[in-house]
Structure 1
Amino acid sequence: MDVREQSTESTPNTPLSGDVKPHFTGTGTGSRSLESSSKDWECYLSKDDRLVSSQACGKPPSRSRTEIEILGVIDDGSAYTTSRPIAETKPWYLHADYEEGKDIIIDSDGTVCIFPSSLSVRAGSVTALVEYLTSHEVTDTRFTASFLMTFKSFSDIDTVVGLLIERFWIKSPDGLSNEEWEEWKTMKQHIIRTRVLMVFETIIVDDDVLEERDMHVVDRLTEFVQDDEVQNLEAGQHLLAQIESAQNRGIARTTTISYDPQPPPIVPCPKEKPKLLEFDPLEVARQLTIIECELFLKIKYLTMEWSRESASGPSNTISAVIQTSNKIAHWVADAVLEKEGARKRGLVVKYFITVADRCRELHNFSSMVAIVSGLNAPPVRRLKRTWDEISQKYAGILSTCEVTIDSGRNFSNYRQLLQSVTPPCVPFIGVYLTTLTSIQNEEPHTISGSLVNFRKCAKVAEVIQEAKKWQSKPFNFARVEPIADHLHERLHKFNDVPNVSDAFWKRSLEREPGEHPPARDWLPARPLASLFQRTVNRPPGIALNVVVSEHVETLSSQLL
């Protein structure tokens, strides 16, 4: 019987012949951003058939040769991409299934490039992108990461899972000799199948791929993985174990435990109704950080914001972050304006400047921005007698916070600062939303007819990857009930309050009437949309260097 008519059995766990020693070019991934920092990996086979890097920081990888060839992963967290074989040197039956230039557009230099300095895949049909994802020719781990983070923006989980299952059952072309069929089976089918299973495993174990509404695909994968041909592969056995684990745990996110020691809380003196200024500013900053960190950890890395199904509005988690920022800004303005005397208002302003600075020191940039936004709200900024109470010391502290989030040069000060920050951190989400909005508006969804613009997806993935690293480690602060209760009461005071800005403006004119002409044009419709908006009558001696970018204004008008 012709070997092509035999049932397709799994091949040994060696997709490449023993004398093949590929050269890999790698770049670190892990929790770092997608900025490229390439290095060469000279790889060779050890006696136990494991791929070893001579430059792997003195530590040989523990993964099997097949896993490394399939995944492009080295134990220290690095990844590699392989050069694509020149088509003319390969047998026709080992060519890619997609037609390059028609189904998929890849950089024309013949090399799979490292993101983001040079993107390998520019565009492709969904089918071709899935084929490239599981290619037997190349291992492009940056493409894999970008695809899994963004595929819901151009497809859906059922379509992708269906294409992957279809990809697993790839059939050999007609007209092969027995020797050619064996080569096709080893050099193409086995590698593709193993990569399909590895992608499925990533989909199952990654907390940010499957949502509650996607869990039906787990049943579909359970049926698929129980096939004998799947179970004959080691990767198939791993996948079955992960599916069973996923079915037991549901879609609950993996809890990340902070290993930083918990600082002793600063508890205020027992009092039935403590006042704001009696709370230590550092502890207030910590309690705000607990609130903001909890909200930020719930965000699914912004991907749902840009999916086709949620294009009509922001996700609940992102809306919660934005609304909390607005509430903090309202709270600050309200606390200042409720004091009748200029001196008392000045004390409150100085207090909030200190809290904002403590948030900055804790790397809670979200609360810092919200507090400074409240202080710079026009109803507060126009109070000249109040700001006369602010010394140059406090003006300098406020200026430091403002410069930190200066929107000039695409928030370059803030971005540079983040490079020196290690988790835990609560970033200012507005920078990420601004960047994503810019990508969304400036890049077309499709190019060359109906091909998915994957360059756009890779840019989105780069932003998501940057935000994702701040979710790797939460803060470890103790809840201080008196302060937490005070914040809960004051922040929820502004739930569904209509025309709160009008009320602030009216009260501002009552506190210091007639000293400045009415300036209703300054009054923002939404605090987030006017972060650090420059006002005409800002008190002299206190420079406001930060003006919200047009992208944030546009974003806020879309989201709120």
Structure 2
Amino acid sequence: GDSIFEEEKQVDILMQEESDGCLGVKAATLDKLFEFLTSCECSVFFRKTFLLTYRSFTDSLTFLSYLTSLYLSSNEEEDGTRSLRVMRIVKNWVDDFVYDFEEEPDLLNRLISFCSEIEEVKKKGWAAHGALLEKMIGRVKRKEEEVEDGGENEGGEATYLFPFNNFSQWTEIEVEKFASQITLLNFKTYSKITPKEIMNYVKAKNVEEKKKLCPNVTKVVGQFNELSNWGTTMICRRCQLKERVAVMSHLLSLLQKLFDLNNLHGSLALIATFTNSAVARLKSSFERLEPQKRNLLVDLTTRLSHLSSYKAYRNHLHSIAPPLVPYIGVYLTDLTFINDGNPDLVEKRLINFNKCYLVANVIVENQQYHTPYIYLIADKHMQYSLANGCLETENESENYRLSKLIEGTDPEIAIESLLKSERALKQKIKKLELQASLCSCSLPSSTHNSFHSGNWDLGGLGEEREGGGEEDEREEQ
């Protein structure tokens, strides 16, 4: 008779009911995921999630190879509907994730080969797939043309050089212009972020890997840090209280304009300026601000608060309409928690597709805010300057050192610190001059003479030495 001990059968797929009432996959092997994707039970939500997250459990060439083999092995009479579903999956892939084919030449070549094979199959009577095929190929070609053309509309030439770091020249016009241009720059970079980039950023092991795999996410994060650090530096460099308060007032006006433009990315960057330890300690400066400005900072800090997992920020984000620039840090935080808190595998061998659903939900929200600012006009000069480091910044430790000097420190201690800095700078200048002199010894005599005649520009080092001739003569004697 049969043994009372039956071998436990391994389960290759675990099913569950999705939120829309359709049947969905909780976890499965790779083959079973492919099989469900091309079945009649597959929902639009499952297909979208699969295309968004497939790189977390397979690669693009394996995915396309499976679709190709399934299509070409199908029989029109028996599997006609399945082959049509395969075609629609490939079309969705090309329509929504065309960058996969742009970035991977091998994948694009496989797609072209697949299309040529379909052409041969069409001759055998599968003419119903012809329209889908033509649209698919046309989509790739149009995207290639867009890449070749550049697709940028920068606007006209600048009529003047914008005083980025000179707040004494700022008026209400400068505040509005800066807000619009930094918003355009932030949106331009943000809208280029792909689902693949944002997923790679969370899993990247170091900074260099993030720069390589996630260039646009890295740029967006860099723009946030640069704007925040610039605001801190501009405040801490002002020694006079009146000037410092004026700069803080201008920055708060800029914060209001960014908020009005729905640039939450830039708004939070400037809020980070005022919560930075180097600025937050400047009590006398905050007391001199107009009450209206202080209330503005409190109000926007509360409305965009990070507390309770950014609850207030999320409520505000969902209450406004695009165009807007979200804060990328919220999505990166969400994905980090999902990645760390959910295993990749269930029962040691099944791909955890529930985790893919969670990741997809975050990416879908991140991708929906790509409506452009059609009413803002880019200034070519300002866009170039902002993208290439025109904002002057100091590192965090230097800003804090300056903050302690300008406010809340005993004058004698402040003077002593400045004298130490001056002595260190003079020693550095002497060292550089000595190095320059040693280098000049190995140059031809004509070049050597031009160096001593003062024709070479040493970046202003010579100017620092004016008036020091007598001291040098005494040292030689």
Same fold flag (TM > 0.5): yes
Q: Which amino acid aligns with 2:34?
A: V
- Distance, in Å, in 1 between the alignment partners of 2:312 and 2:128 is 46
Q: Does 1:292 align with 2:201?
A: no
Secondary structure, counterpart of 2:218 in structure 1:
helix
Q: Which residue among 5, 8, 12 is the counterpart of 1:103?
A: 12
Counterparts of 1:374-393 in structure 2 under 5 Å?
374-393=273-292
Secondary structure, counterpart of 2:378 in structure 1:
coil
Larger radius of gyration: 2
Query: Structure 1 residues 194 and 353 mapped into 2: Cα distance closer, same or farther (>3 Å)?
Result: same
Counterparts of 1:3-402 in structure 2 under 5 Å?
102-107=11-16, 112-114=17-19, 120-136=24-40, 138-170=41-73, 189-206=79-96, 207-213=98-104, 214-229=107-122, 232-234=125-127, 236-251=129-144, 275-276=166-167, 277-278=170-171, 279-301=173-195, 303-307=196-200, 311-312=204-205, 313-314=209-210, 315-402=214-301
Q: Which residue among 412, 420, 439 is the counterpart of 2:311?
A: 412
Name the counterpart of 2:443.
Answer: none
Q: 1:230: Cα distance to partner?
A: 8.0
Output the TM-score relative to the length of structure 1: 0.63
Name the counterpart of 1:507.
Answer: 402
Secondary structure, counterpart of 2:369 in structure 1:
helix
Query: Structure 1 residues 114 and 230 mapped into 2: Cα distance closer, same or farther (>3 Å)?
Result: farther
Contact 1:299-1:317 within 8 A present in 2 as well: yes
Q: Which amino acid aligns with 1:102?
A: V
Q: 1:511: Cα distance to partner?
A: 1.1
Name the counterpart of 1:21.
Answer: none
Query: Structure 1 residues 482 and 347 mapped into 2: Cα distance closer, same or farther (>3 Å)?
Result: farther
Q: Which amino acid aligns with 2:401?
A: K
Name the counterpart of 1:459.
Answer: 358
- Distance, in Å, in 1 between the alignment partners of 2:64 and 2:143 is 19
Contact 1:337-1:380 within 8 A present in 2 as well: yes
Output the TM-score relative to the length of structure 2: 0.73
- Distance, in Å, in 1 between the alignment partners of 2:162 and 2:239 is 24
* Structure 2, unpaired ranges of 5+: 1-8, 414-477
- Distance, in Å, in 2 between the alignment partners of 1:450 and 1:298 is 35
Q: Which amino acid aligns with 1:401?
A: L
- Distance, in Å, in 1 between the alignment partners of 2:38 and 2:80 is 11
Aligned residues: 389
- Distance, in Å, in 2 between the alignment partners of 1:482 and 1:335 is 22
- Distance, in Å, in 2 between the alignment partners of 1:230 and 1:160 is 26
Contact 2:94-2:140 within 8 A present in 1 as well: no
Residues 427-455 of structure 1 deviation map (CA, whole Å, 9 limit, x = unaligned): 01111111111101101111122211111
Secondary structure, counterpart of 1:505 in structure 2:
helix
Q: 1:456: Cα distance to partner?
A: 0.6
CA-atom RMSD, angstroms?
Answer: 3.5
Secondary structure, counterpart of 1:105 in structure 2:
strand
Residues 66-123 of structure 1 deviation map (CA, whole Å, 9 limit, x = unaligned): xxxxxxxxxxxxxxxxxxxxxxxxxxxxxxxxxx98221111xxxx5336x9982111
Identity %: 20
Contact 2:27-2:350 within 8 A present in 1 as well: yes
- Distance, in Å, in 1 between the alignment partners of 2:329 and 2:201 is 21
Q: 1:162: Cα distance to partner?
A: 1.2
